[in-house]
Structure 1
Amino acid sequence: MMLATTKVEDLDRFLRIFSTKGAEKRRQHGSKGASVFRDPVEKDRVWVLFDWDADGWQHYVSDPDVAPILREAGHIGAPQPAQLVGEYEA
């Protein structure tokens, strides 16, 4: 699992591309799924929890076909992975 965040111009536009073209490209790089959350404070920020490993993410972000998809989805800047700082039971 991994968590990433990004800002978007329009949530509906982002979700439309994320769930279609974006999903196809992520699947090519090993993503098994994603859950999207809207930030409660910054309305233009989304958080995405991916069922994906770090190697797949790195291959995805280095794929030259990804940048046009991100632009079409209305990303403001590049998605940033959150740094995992601990894992705990319960």
Structure 2
Amino acid sequence: MILATTKFEDLDRFLKVFSTKGAAKRREHGSKGATVFRDPIDEDRVWVVFDWDAEGWQDFVSDPDVPGIFQEAGHVVKPQPAPLVGQYDA
């Protein structure tokens, strides 16, 4: 699982590209799905939980097609993964 955040210019534009071209490219790199949350404090930010491993994420962000997809989606900053600091039962 990967948790990542990014900022965008327009939510509808972001989601349109994220759910189409972005999804196809993520799938190529082993992503099994994503759940998108809008930040409750910053309306121009989303948090995304990916069903993905670290190697697949790294391959995705290194893919030469990805910067163009990010640009088309209106990213204002490059998506950043949140570091995992622990896992606990319950």
Q: TM-score, normalised by structure 1?
A: 0.99
1:16 maps onto 2:44 in alignment: no
Segments of structure 1 that go 5 or more residues without pairing to the other structure are: none
1:73 corresponding residue in structure 2: 73
Distance 1:76 1:83 in 2: 21
After superposition, the C-alpha distances for 1:17-40 in whole angstroms (9 at most, x for unaligned) are: 000000000000000000000000
Distance 1:77 1:38 in 2: 16
1:40 maps onto 2:53 in alignment: no
Distance 1:35 1:81 in 2: 14
Deviation at 1:77, TM superposition (A): 1.3
1:7 corresponding residue in structure 2: 7
Aligned AA for 1:56? Answer: G
SS at match of 1:77: coil
For these two proteins, the number of residue pairs brought into alignment is 90
Distance 2:4 2:58 in 1: 12
Deviation at 1:45, TM superposition (A): 0.4
Aligned AA for 1:57? Answer: W
User: What's the C-alpha RMSD, in Å, of the aligned pairs?
Assistant: 0.3
Aligned AA for 1:3? Answer: L
Aligned AA for 1:43? Answer: E
Q: Among the aligned pairs, what percent are the same residue?
A: 73
